[in-house]
Structure 1
Amino acid sequence: MPPLSSSSPPSPSTRDSVVAALRAAGCVFAEEEAELILAAARTPGELAVLVDRRAGGLPLELVVGWAEFRGLRIVVEPGVFVPRRRTGFLVEQALVQVPDASVVVDLCCGSGAVGAALASALGPVELHAADLDPAAVRCARRNVGGQVHQGDLFTALPDDLRGRIDILAANVPYVPTDEVGLLPAEARDHEPRTALDGGADGLDVLRRVATEAPAWLAPGGCVLVETSERQAAAALETFAASGLAPRLAVSEELYANVVIGVRE
């Protein structure tokens, strides 16, 4: 491959060879992925390494080191949950529910993509993010302008947030334990199980969040979680049993189901 430099684009032959390698590895969007990998590589040697990693099954976002999320470039690292496009619908619903939010928490934050997107849309806010996984916390600190805490759900948060949170985004794991092995290899093999496995019916962590959320929300504040379509009814019942006013928002385009609970 000819040398790459910031002053000149790679030659067509280089681009074609990268596309061919990715296509041979089964990458459906080989042309688009090739452009991103070419832009990320600083030398021919690095380009070869990145192509090999992608061809070997490493998620594209981990190959190039970032994921696009609601117009933001979110840094991602190995061992950290990669933000999904559909989760942008959760952000959208939070902004609809509390458009003037001033205190925002991104619980089970992973890379911190949800908190970063909310802060970007809302402007100056008091932003907190938290995750149990040290790798996620390190990554979120690169993406989130607010405070990032390590710990198990609400135990990670400063106590003075009780009763003050306007938006509590909790992108909890919701895949039933027996179905984790059925996930695409990119998730199953490269993302932490704690970010995927939601227990026997997928709702274990959601129940814990629903139980504690009312004490942390401000009046009119809301908690938002993703679920699957078949879990939505049970999730709504769980929120209602915790004293929250629940509703379900669905995006058929994104295959997204977001359960919202409001403290009245």
Structure 2
Amino acid sequence: MTTPLTESAIVSRLRAAGCVFAEDEAQLILSTARTGADASAMVERRAAGEPLEHVLGWAWFCGLRIAVEPGVFVPRRRTEFLVRRAHALAPPEAVVLDLCCGSGALGAALVSGLEEFALHSADIEPASVRCARRNIAPFGGLAYEGDLFEPLPDALRGRVDVLLCNVPYVPTGEVGLLPAEARDHEPRVALDGGPDGLDVLRRVTAEAPRWLAPHGRLLFETSERQVADAVAAVEQGGLSAVVATSEEFDATVIVGVKSV
């Protein structure tokens, strides 16, 4: 019989592997593991460099426990600022579309704070769509698999009040500089934004006006150095742009507004 790992043994193993928050991670692993064997396997996966959220099978986001499978983009805390902005702007009975949805965390977090809504999500990665369906099912959400707007039902055209789009915005040449947890374990399509990081965004802003309702809003995050080019892409698509920043979340969000 294998002796169960103690919390101190797990902390030592994780610390030796370079985990900065070894104590916190040890507690999360022990509280999530169903058996001692599960805990041992989880510790070894984490020590090998797998993201903690993939090891646990979930991530905290905006107060929700979001299911996250291996190979699925892990929602970042900074993106909670985007959800806050969207919540402040959402009209009553909002039609919400979460594009490039990954785990579906953004859409789920937004509608969890709304009274009346319809939620739709889409992603090109099959694993992400599977994960999103689990996370948005409690909210009656629907998830579609395909490239950007392509898989969406035509009935959504001109009806979307809030379009969340966590587009990849890392320039191709900088993907290799990302932490190993991201570049080795998350889908490249969720990270790589093309030569200047804005290729996917330009595709979204070019088509978004056809899906937005009058006065509908497109929200996405970007880096400080990309703001000018991102605003230009929004305006070229026919939307007006507003930039919002947060020191608390170290995040920059751009809101594109359809006037009519």
TM-score relative to the length of structure 2 = 0.95
Q: Tell me whether 1:65 sits opposite 2:57 in the alignment.
A: yes
Whole-angstrom CA distance in 1 between matches of 2:91 and 2:13: 46
- Name stretches of at least 5 consecutive residues in structure 2 with no aligned partner: none
**Corresponding residue SS for 1:18:** helix
Q: Deviations over 1:202-248 (max 9, x none)?
A: 00000011011111111111001111110011101111121111011
Aligned-pair CA distance for 1:124: 3.2
Q: How many residues align?
A: 255
What is the aligned counterpart of 1:225 among 220, 224, 238? 220
Q: Is the 8 A contact 1:101 1:166 kept in 2?
A: no
Whole-angstrom CA distance in 2 between matches of 1:200 and 1:187: 19
Whole-angstrom CA distance in 2 between matches of 1:250 and 1:129: 25
> What is the aligned partner in structure 1 of residue 26 from structure 2?
34
Whole-angstrom CA distance in 2 between matches of 1:242 and 1:16: 55
Whole-angstrom CA distance in 2 between matches of 1:193 and 1:25: 25
Aligned-pair CA distance for 1:99: 4.4
> What is the aligned partner in structure 2 of residue 9 from structure 1?
none
What is the aligned counterpart of 1:50 among 24, 42, 48? 42
Matches within 5 A, 1:187-202: 187-202=182-197
Whole-angstrom CA distance in 2 between matches of 1:121 and 1:99: 12
Q: Deviations over 1:80-99 (max 9, x none)?
A: 10000111111111112224
> What is the aligned partner in structure 2 of residue 6 from structure 1?
none
Matches within 5 A, 1:246-261: 246-261=241-256
Q: Is the 8 A contact 1:236 1:246 kept in 2?
A: yes
Aligned-pair CA distance for 1:123: 2.8
> What is the aligned partner in structure 1 of residue 151 from structure 2?
156
Q: Is the 8 A contact 1:101 1:125 kept in 2?
A: yes
> What is the aligned partner in structure 2 of residue 96 from structure 1?
88
- Runs of 4 or more, structure 1, over 4 Å off, are none
Root-mean-square deviation (CA), in Å? 1.2
Q: Is the 8 A contact 2:32 2:56 kept in 1?
A: yes
- Name stretches of at least 5 consecutive residues in structure 1 with no aligned partner: 4-12
Letter in 1 for 2:9: S
Whole-angstrom CA distance in 1 between matches of 2:71 and 2:118: 28
Aligned-pair CA distance for 1:263: 0.6
> What is the aligned partner in structure 1 of residue 200 from structure 2?
205
Q: Tell me whether 1:171 sits opposite 2:166 in the alignment.
A: yes
What is the aligned counterpart of 1:77 among 49, 69, 76? 69
Letter in 1 for 2:10: V
Aligned-pair CA distance for 1:46: 1.3
Whole-angstrom CA distance in 2 between matches of 1:192 and 1:47: 26
Aligned-pair CA distance for 1:100: 2.7
Matches within 5 A, 1:116-127: 116-127=108-119
Letter in 2 for 1:240: E
**Corresponding residue SS for 2:113:** helix
Aligned-pair CA distance for 1:187: 0.1
Q: What is the aligned-residue identity percentage? A: 63
**Corresponding residue SS for 2:228:** helix
Q: Is the 8 A contact 1:211 1:242 kept in 2?
A: yes
